[in-house]
Amino acid sequence: VDYALLVFFVTITFTIGASAFSGCTALTGITLGSKVKTIGASAFYNCKKLSSIDIPYGVDSIGTSAFENCYALQYAMIPEGVESIMPSTFSNCSDVTKISLPSTVTSIGASAFANCKQLYDISIPSAVESIGASAFTNTAIEKATIPAKVNRIYANTFNGCTKLTDLTFAEGSKITVIETRAFYNCKTLKAVEVPSMVTTIAKEAFTGCSSMKTATLPASLKEIGEATFSGCSSLTEISVPSLIIS
């Protein structure tokens, strides 16, 4: 059998078990049958040559690190019904350029897309309530809209997104905290309007955003951390609220 050309058809099982194909480094393509409902944790972990995966409608659960280190993967479409993108699901998929997320997704786990260095085409569904630490770190994302239900930007969420130019917080944003290095080294980010409920911007949150010209801070803000806007060499205008205590 020439495993480099293997296409695996699943027509009976409902579950692809944890680590089922982990380390199948010659595998290039997978087609899953319509009866598959669950893709287990690390199911295709370290399948370095896997360039395509057809995830059928009906799959409603994809486990942690399911496609981590699938360096050759170029595109993925997650079907409607999936509610959680688990931690490190696509971490280190360095060739992927586009990932389509369904409207049913409500959470994106830590490092879900970390180090997907070519990933520029991805939108965060409006139903998302939480985005984990380092979720989009070192991606090529150009635009990001943070849904209104998200209440915290965790550490390193967009760290190293050097092509991120436009950042928008949805109307009615519930964010109260922007954590350490959340937007660190987003070199092309032009401006930021911090949501009205934010009380804390942690240290180095916007360090190295060298193209940022304006930063609008809300009256609710009480704490700006160390080096928060350090290296923002284009910054010409910023207003610091009177309630700042540290």
Distances from the Cα of 76 to the Cα of 53, 105, 169, 202, angstroms: 7, 15, 26, 34
Task: Please report the pLDDT score of residue 150 as a whole number.
Answer: 98
**What 3-state class would DSSP assign to 5?**
helix
Q: Whole-angstrom Cα distance, residue 33 to residue 100?
A: 20
Contacts of 115 (CB under 8 A, 6+ apart): 91, 92, 94, 137, 138, 139
Contacts of 225 (CB under 8 A, 6+ apart): 180, 200, 201, 202, 203, 204, 205
- Long-range contacts made by residues 238-244, C-beta under 8 angstroms, separation at least 24? 238/214, 241/217, 243/219
29 forms beta bridges with 7, 52
DSSP states along 199-242: -EE-TTTTTT-TT--EEE--TT--EE-TTTTTT-TT--EEE--T
pLDDT given for residue 244 in this prediction: 64
> What's the confidence (pLDDT) of residue 147?
98
pTM summary value: 0.92
Q: For residue 166, which phi and psi values (nearest 5 degrees)? A: -125, 120
Please tell me the distance from the alpha carbon of residue 145 to that of residue 25, in angstroms, as a whole number.
36
* Weakly modelled stretches of the chain, pLDDT under 50: 1-3, 5, 8-12
Tens digit of each residue's pLDDT (9 = 90 or more) over 74-130: 999 999 999 999 999 999 999 999 999 999 999 999 999 999 999 999 999 999 999
Rounded to 5 degrees, φ, ψ at 197 are: -100, 0
